[in-house]
Structures are given as C-alpha cells and as structure tokens.
Amino acid sequence: MTAIIVATAMWLLAASLLILRRGRSERNITYAALTIAVAMTLNTDPVYRPLDRLAGGGNLVTLVADVALMIGVFFLGRGVMKASERQPKTVRLALGRVALVTAILGAAVAFSLIDLGGTTTSFMLELGDQPAAAVYSMIQFVYYGIVLSAMAVLAARQFRNSEGVQKLPPASLFIGSLLGVGLSVVVIAMDIAHVFDELVLMAEIAVTYEPLRLLAFLFLCVGFAGQPAARSLQARSRERRTRKLVDDLRPIWAEATKARPGISQNQQVAIPADEPDIVLHRQVVEIRDAMIDTRVNFAVSEPERELIERAELHLVGAGPAGSLAAALPTTTRNRKMGR
C-alpha cells in the first residue's frame, strides 16, 4: 500500500511540476519526479508481476526499478545543486555523474551474483540472506545516503538565504533529506542483520522503515513542489505591491513630468503598461530627475519623498541582477545613455 501511495504522490508531483515549471530551462527536478514516479510504479505489485513475467521471471524489473530510482535521486540532487551557489567540492562529488555511474555499476555487478529464482514481490525479504543481495541493497542506500546528505547541506544553506514564504520549501527539503538519510541507515542495518541471520533484530529495526519511507517522500515532494509554488505566490504579491506604488506615484509623476518632460512624454517611446516594474522604474527616474534639476521648480513633501524611497527600495529588492541595475535612480548611467 505504501508503494502505491508513494507512486501516486510522485505522479502528482510530476504533474504539478510540469505545470508550475513550464517554460523553465532548469528541468532536473521535473526529470527526477518523472523517473522516481516510474521507479515507484514498477515496484507496485500489480505492475511488477506482469512486467517481470514478460522479462522472463528473473526479477530483472527489480534492477530496472532500482536503477531508475538511483537516477531519479541523482536528478533531485542536481536540481538542488543548480539552485545553490558555491557548492563545496564534496557536495559536487556526491551529486556528480561519477558517483551515480559507480553506484549503478556496483549494484549491477552485485545483482548479477544473486541467485534470483522466480518472480517475487518481496525481493529482499526472500533473498536478503544472500551476501550479494545485501551488498546490492547497501550499495543503493549508501548512494542515497550520500546524495541526501549533500542535499541537506544545500537545503540548509538555501533556508538561511531565503526570506518569508521562500523558507518553507528548503525547510521541507532539509527535513525530507534527513529522513531519507535515516531511512538509508535503517535499510543498511536491516541488510546486515538479515545476512547474519539476526531476523528478530531485523524485524525490530524494520518497524521504522515504512514511516520513514513515507515521511521522507512526503517532505521531499512538498519541498520540490513548494519551490515553484512559493515563487509564484511571491511574484504575485510583489506585482500587487508594484501596481499599488505605481498608482500612488502617478500624481507626483504627473507633476514632475509637467515641470521637466521626460522620455515618457516622447510619443515614439512606448512604456508597456502591462509591465508595472518598467512603469515604476520610469516614474522614479523622472521624478528624481525633476527633483535634482535646478532649472525647474519642482519639490516634494516629506511623505512624498518617503513614498519615492519606498518605490526605490521595492525595485532594488526585485532580485534579478538586471532589475537591480534598472532600478537605480538617476546616475551617470543615464548620462552615458545621452540623457
């Protein structure tokens, strides 16, 4: 049942990412969600049994599903790394292709040494007493533990550098990564106990397996789905504040351009009304130009000055590097443009 819940959650995450992240060039997270969804689906009994029979009944679908899951976790790590800056070398190595290829090759070799038997949906329960099967499982979960540890480091850094609602996704990713590391430790401990025939100990450790697995996937899903959702909410909130500032500055702007006509009065220069950031920037620039031009008679009250400063701070806080340069009020940059 847990496998079905996790598979369903991953398909829902993949669908939401395809919608929320459409048009974005960075697609590692979307690839991760799709790959992990496929892996989880292959691990559900109704899908696994017929596919493995078609493959010859040697549990080869287990290898396919596990490799897909490793690739999905690789994409997860890459997605988090792409969103971070100045990653430590150890993190880059953990999330790199060499680590992935090494883990896949190691798992494939170990899998080839297992006495597989016929199709079974309880692969490690039935075959986990074989050293090769234990090694096969441990290779995977050592890799997951390494990748998730690196993700936890990056998520913690993102959390420190975020503000407001943007803190929630990295917080969820951090918790999910730690739970995933805990899950990896639990599975490795179960593998060791099983191969040494400590079945009672294995059963005691196994109590934590399903809760950790479910919670890890839940927090990771919320974290990854939450990133584009949080950005979308923040962008809408910022646009509302921008439009409000544009409306508030309009009377001052009208007086400023009346005293000192600016580019906005040039009929050949179009200012897109549907882009409030550009309009607000133009308002601030032309108001500031009128304020510092000693040839014209234009002055603002203290409340109006505070409003202008709030608009400037709002523009500078836009985030993208380009908007920071564009948001700067009248400077030598304007003069170099022939102003």
Q: How many CA atoms lie within 13 A of 327 on its CB side?
A: 20
Q: Give ranges for CATH 1.20.1070 in the chain.
A: 2-235
- On whether the 2-235 domain is CATH 1.20.1070, my answer is yes
List Cβ neighbours of 220 (8 Å cut-off, separation of 6 or more).
76, 172, 173, 176, 177, 180
Following DSSP, what letter does each residue of 155-180 receive, concatenated? HHHHHHH--GGGGHHHHHHHHHHHHH
Place of tokens 């892996």: 39
Q: Is the separation of the CB atoms in 90 and 152 below 8 Å?
A: no
Instruction: Say if pTM beats, i.e. exceeds, 0.75.
Output: no
What is the full per-residue pLDDT of the chain (339 aa) written as tens digits? Answer: 667 777 887 888 788 777 766 656 567 888 888 898 999 999 898 999 999 999 888 899 999 999 999 999 999 888 888 766 677 788 888 888 999 999 999 999 999 999 988 888 888 989 999 999 999 999 999 999 999 999 999 889 888 877 777 788 889 999 999 999 999 999 999 999 999 999 999 999 999 998 998 899 889 888 877 766 666 666 777 788 888 888 898 898 888 888 888 665 554 455 666 788 888 888 888 888 888 888 888 888 888 889 888 888 888 874 433 333 333 333 333 333 333
